[in-house]
Amino acid sequence: HCFRQCGSLAWMKKTIAARRYGRPVSSRAVFTFTASTRHRKWVFRARDAGGGPFHDVGVHGIDSLRWILGEDPVSVSAEMRPIPNRRVVERDAVAILTFPSGVTGTIETSYRAPYHSTVEVVCEDARIEAVRGMGVHRGFVIVTRGDEIVARQPFDNRRIYVDQLVE
C-alpha cells in the first residue's frame, strides 16, 4: 500500500521486528480530517465514494498495522455513525482488530475532526508513535517510556514518497 513507502512506518517496522523495546502489546492508527472544509465534497455521497472515512482512509490504518506487525488480524469489529446506507456514508468509525499474536489494534477515522495521522504501537518496554505517519509530509517517530522521551527520529515522508514514485 502507498504509505508503506513512508520512512517513519518503515523505521517502526524494523524497530518492532528487532524487539528493541520488547514485544508489541497493542496498536492504534488514527486518520481524521474535516472533510466539509476540503475540496473533496464527493466523499459524503455514498454513490460516488463507496463509503465514508473508514472506506476512504481507515484502510490505510489497517494496512499500516498489518504491515508493521507482520500479521493479519483474525477478527475485526467496527462501530460507525451515522449508520451508512445507500445514500449516506458514515462520518466517524472505530474498529477493533485482534491479531494472532494477541496484539490488539484500534482504527479511528472521522470526517468531522481536524487533520490527524498517527500510528502507534505499544510494546512491553516503550510506546512508539509515528506522528503524521500516514501521509506525504514531514513527520517523526517518538519513543517514550512513561513520561521520558528515549528516542526521536524525524522523517521527510514527502521526499521518500516522491523518490519511490520516480523509480
- β-pair partners for 106: 28, 96
Please choose, from the candidates 125, 118, 91, 96, the residue with its C-alpha nearest in 3D space to the C-alpha of residue 31. 118
CA 57 to chain centre: 8
Answer yes or no: is pLDDT of 2 > 80. Answer: no
Which residue would you say has higher pLDDT here, 86 or 32?
32
How many other CB atoms are there within 10 angstroms of residue 72's CB atom? 11
Is residue 1 very low, low, confident or very high in pLDDT (cuts 50, 70, 90)?
low
pLDDT at 160: 66
Please choose, from the candidates 123, 115, 118, 166, the residue with its C-alpha nearest in 3D space to the C-alpha of residue 145. 123
Tens digits of residue pLDDT in 62-117: 999 999 999 999 999 999 998 878 888 999 999 999 999 999 999 999 999 999 99
What's phi and psi for 15, nearest 5 deg?
-65, -45
Tens digits of residue pLDDT in 115-130: 999 999 999 999 999 9
Average pLDDT, the chain: 88
Q: Which amino acid is at 158?
A: R
Which segments of 2-147 are extended strands (E)? Answer: 24-34, 75-81, 92-98, 104-110, 112-123, 127-131, 138-145
Is residue 36 very low, low, confident or very high in pLDDT (cuts 50, 70, 90)?
confident
Alpha carbon distance 93, 26 (integer Å):
19
Q: Which amino acid is at 64?
A: S
Q: Are 117 and 33 a contacting pair, CB within 8 Å? A: no
pTM: 0.88
DSSP string for 71-99:
S--SEEEEEEESPP-SSB--SEEEEEEE-
Instruction: Mention every residue, 6+ apart, whose C-beta is less than 8 A from residue 144.
Output: 126, 127, 129, 150
